[in-house]
Amino acid sequence: MVARRRKRAARNAEEVPSPPGYSAIPIKFSEKQQASHYLYVREHRVREGTKSSWPQKRTLFVLNVPPYCTEECLSRLLSPCGPVQSVELQGKPELTESSKEPKSKFFHPKPVPGFQVAYVVFQKPNGVSAALALKGPLLVSTESHPVKSGIHKWISDYADSVQDPEALRVEVDTFMEAYDKKIAEEEAKAKEEEGVPDDEGWVKVTRRGRRPVLPRTEAASLRVLEREKRKRARKELLNFYAWQHRETKMEHLAQLRKKFEEDKQRIELMRAQRKFRPY
């Protein structure tokens, strides 16, 4: 352990190694910790022609964000480099921003965080370059901004998990209203189109017609095929010709042979496992 301490001290003194294109920023939970994780940061760039919703030049791409580091926290830690516009934490690198509309907290509970990647958008491009030059170590939890962990975090998580039924009701109602409206519109449209030939004179047949048609599902088509097969099988004659007789006999023999081979293999295995030593 001592040797390792010394090694670490030596490592701190020299330049922290970082992969090409990235710079490493040490990050610790608080003053008390001795070892630190390293954030690997670089400017967010994409190849020509690839679409990315993150603004070029102003976005900082951060790897290896420790689990106790939240979005607010990261924003606070990087704000000395320049005003931060937004921070988004993700499980793995993705080029596009997640859908704009916020996911319902009732139906999509937050997952337990692990190590994450972050896209930090600064208001100005020089924020990125300032961040790249950061030396650290960054402290996640300080006296002025304590971050909860352990028991305290679990208790507050538990309190958050107790949902407000009224808010849930309101959300459900609004969603269902919109959904009903959408369905009603679609139905009205379908009704309008029913029985009306299109430009080339084709009429669309739907389930709602007077004579319902077979639904277009896989199960239904399989059923039809099966019925056909059975019909054909019924018409065939079994063991009528001599060659048929011969073939069934041969088939039986082949089955026995196959079984025999399988059994021999089993025995071989059992012998290898010494399964025949009774005691």
Partner 1 sequence: MGPAPAGAQLRGAAGDAEMMEPALEGTVKEGKKESSKKHTVAGSPVEGLLKPVKLSRAELYKEPTSEELNCLRETESLFHSSLLRLQVEELLKEVRLSEKKKERIDAFLWKVNQRIMRVPSTPETELTDQTWLPAGVRVPLHQVPYTVKGCFRFLPPAQITVVGSYLLGTCIRPDINVDVALTMPREILQDKDGLNQRYFRKRALYLAHLAHHLAQDPLFDSVHFSYTNGCHLKPLLLLRPHGKDEHLVTVRLHPCPPPDFFRPCRLLPSKNNVRSAWYRGQSPPGDGSPEPPTPHYNTWVLQDTALKSHVQLLSTVLGSALGLKDGVVLLKVWLRQRELDKGLGGFSGFLVSMLVAFLVSTRKIHNTMSGYQVLRSVLQFLATTDLTVNGISLCFSSDPSLPALADFHQAFPVVFLDSSGRLNLCADVTASTYHQVQHEARLSMVLLDSKAEDGFQLLLMTPKPMIRAFDHVLHLCPLSRLQAACHRLKLWPELQDHGGDYVSATLGPLTTLLEQGLGSRLHLLAHSRPAVSEWDISQDPPKHRDSGTLTLGLLLRPEGLTSVLELGPEADQPEAADFRQFWGSRSELRRFQDGAIREAVVWEAVSMSQKRLIPHQVVTHLLALHADIPEACVHYMGGLLDALIQGLKETSSTGEEALAAAVRCYDELSRLLWGLEGLPLTVSAVQGAHPVLRYTEVFPPTPVWPAYSFHEHLRERASLLPRPDKPCPAYVEPMTVVCHLEGSGQWPQDAEAIQRVRAAFQLRLAELLTQQHGLQCRATATHTDVLKDGFVFRIRVAYQREPQVLKEMQSPEGMISLRDTPASLSLEKDTKQMPLLTSALHGLQQQHPAFSGVARLAKRWVRAQLLGEEFTDESLDLVAAALFLHPEPFTPPSSPQVGFLRFLFLVSTFDWKNNPLIVNLNNELTVEEQAEIRSGFLATRTQFPVMVIITPQDRKNSIWTQDGPSPQILQQLMVLAAEALPILEKQLMDPRGPGDIRTVFRPPLDMYDVLIRLSPRHIPRHRQAVDSPAASFCRGLLSEPGPLSLMPVLGYDPPQLYLAQLREAYGDLALFFYDQHGGEVIGVLWKPTSFQPHPFKASNTKGRMVVLQGGELVMVPNVEAILEDFAILGEGLVRAVDARSERWTV
Shortest Å, Cβ 235 to partner 1: 27
Peptide bond preceding 137 in cis form (omega within 30 of 0): yes
Shortest Å, Cβ 125 to partner 1: 22
Q: Is the dihedral of CA 254, 256, 257, 258 positive or negative?
A: positive
Nearer Cβ to partner 1, position 34 or 144?
34
One character per residue 132-171, x = contact with partner 1 (rule: CB under 8 A): -----------------xxxx-xx-xxx--xxxx--xx--
- What is the per-residue DSSP string for 227-264? HHHHHHHHHS-SS-SHHHHHHHHHHHHHHHHHHHHHHH
One character per residue 111-130, x = contact with partner 1 (rule: CB under 8 A): xxxxx-x-------------
Query: Given candidates 9, 12, 19, 228, which one binds partner 1 under the rule CB under 8 A?
Result: 19
Q: Which two tokens stand for residue 39?
A: 């954030």
Query: Given candidates 46, 188, 214, 269, which one binds partner 1 under the rule CB under 8 A?
Result: 269
Q: In which residue are the tokens 């003053």 written?
A: 31
If binding is defined by CB under 8 A, does position 190 make contact with partner 1?
no
- How many residues bind partner 1 (CB under 8 A)? The answer is 84
Closest CA to 142 of 29, 27, 26: 29
Shortest Å, Cβ 52 to partner 1: 15
- CA-to-CA dists, residue 39 to 27, 78, 149, angstroms: 7, 12, 20
Query: Given candidates 4, 210, 211, 234, which one binds partner 1 under the rule CB under 8 A?
Result: 4
Q: Which two tokens stand for residue 197?
A: 């030939």
One character per residue 223-262, x = contact with partner 1 (rule: CB under 8 A): ---------------------------x--xx-xxxxxxx
Query: Given candidates 25, 59, 64, 119, which one binds partner 1 under the rule CB under 8 A?
Result: 64
Is 69 in contact with 37 (CB distance < 8 Å)?
no
Shortest Å, Cβ 216 to partner 1: 6
If binding is defined by CB under 8 A, does position 43 make contact with partner 1?
no
Shortest Å, Cβ 15 to partner 1: 10
If binding is defined by CB under 8 A, does position 102 make contact with partner 1?
no
Query: Given candidates 83, 93, 209, 212, which one binds partner 1 under the rule CB under 8 A?
Result: 93
Nearer Cβ to partner 1, position 243 or 279?
279
Closest CA to 67 of 134, 13, 147: 147
Cβ within 8 Å of residue 142, ≥6 positions away:
30, 31
Q: What are phi and psi of 62, to 5 degrees?
A: -115, 130
Query: Given candidates 43, 68, 89, 97, which one binds partner 1 under the rule CB under 8 A?
Result: 68
What 144-150 contacts at long range (C-beta under 8 Å, 24+ apart), as own/partner pairs, is 145/73, 145/76, 147/29, 147/68, 147/69, 147/70, 147/73, 149/29, 149/68
